[in-house]
Chains A and B, each alone.
Chain A
Amino acid sequence: MRKRRHASGADAEQTGIDLAPMLDFVTNLLIFFIITAVFVKEAGLEVNRPTSFEQPQEEDSESIQIQILETGEIWVDNRAVDVRAVRANVERMSAVNPDSGVLILAQARAPTGTLVEVVDQVHLGGIYNITFTTTQ
């Protein structure tokens, strides 16, 4: 008896906790997270949208209006302009009125590509306060 007990005393002298089950578990968790990890990052542009309660005021002289027709034509100040001219127009108007925002009035069937180009040009012109509405 005594000898046996002594033997179990030798057992207690061994390395301690068995790490193998914990390692199994951790590896499983690791595999799960590796599989579910998605490294997607979309670059984008932020645009405001007026709520139905605050209808954009058409006569608001503070804001610069840019119209986009369904053909992709861009109108600023009652003139048809090229996409590359939007930036110059915005810069000129924001120099006159530095706190002005931009109102983009797009026809419902206007292409999104043109819309994003215009937003990009307005950003390049230094205005980030852009509101976007559609017209019929």
Chain B
Amino acid sequence: MQSRRHAPETEETGIDLAPMLDFTTNLLIFFIITTSFIKEAGITVFKPTAQTAEGRDSGNLMIAIRENGDIWIDRRRVDMRDVRPMMERLHIERPDDTVVIIADKESTAGVVAEIMDEVRLAGIEIMSIAADPAG
């Protein structure tokens, strides 16, 4: 009895990897699907709050405007004149991208309007102004 039980087990390769592989592949597929390659602005600003703010899945190009008028895209500070070529380049890379303008509460409406114009001229029509959901 003992010898029969012992002999085949020692000859086997060890742990069965198949269930682990299944699990890992599932995780992999999950992360591939949820990855959206968001271009973050790279700085934190104090966003205004709004009760009607709604989350959007597709907004993935972030443009941050600081209270002193500085513009940040993709973790770099950029000049107003560079916004349009940058947006054009990113728009060619991924045509489905939409823009979220993250403007500080104290920034001026003029800068926001200028950026909206530049983004529009770069060919991206869909954009929104970021706001924290209130309440």
Contacts and interface: CB of A to CB of B under 8 A. Distances in A.
Interface string A8-20: 0000000100011
B7 interface: no
A120 B113 contact: no
A40 B102 CA distance: 13
Contact of B131 (A19, A111, A120): A120
The secondary structure that dominates the A interface is mixed
A134 B110 contact: yes
B34 interface: yes
Contact of A23 (B20, B37, B103, B128): B20
| Closest A-B pairs by Cβ, 5 of them | A108-B110, A44-B128, A113-B105, A33-B31, A120-B50
A42 B100 CA distance: 7
B28 A45 contact: no
Contact of A30 (B27, B113, B129): B27
Contacts of B56: 41-44
A119 B50 contact: yes
Contacts of A108: 108-110, 113
A116 B28 contact: no
Given A23-B21, A43-B130, A51-B120, A29 B28 contact: yes
A38 B38 contact: yes
Interface of B: 13, 17-18, 20-21, 24-25, 27-28, 31-32, 34-38, 40, 48-57, 59, 62, 65, 100-110, 112-113, 116-117, 120, 126-134
B133 A43 contact: yes
A112 B17 contact: no
A20 B17 contact: yes
Given A19-B17, A109-B110, A111-B107, A43 B53 contact: yes
Contacts of A30: 24, 27-28, 31
Contacts of A70: 108
B109 A111 contact: yes
Nearest to B54: A43
Contacts of A88: none
B40 A38 contact: yes
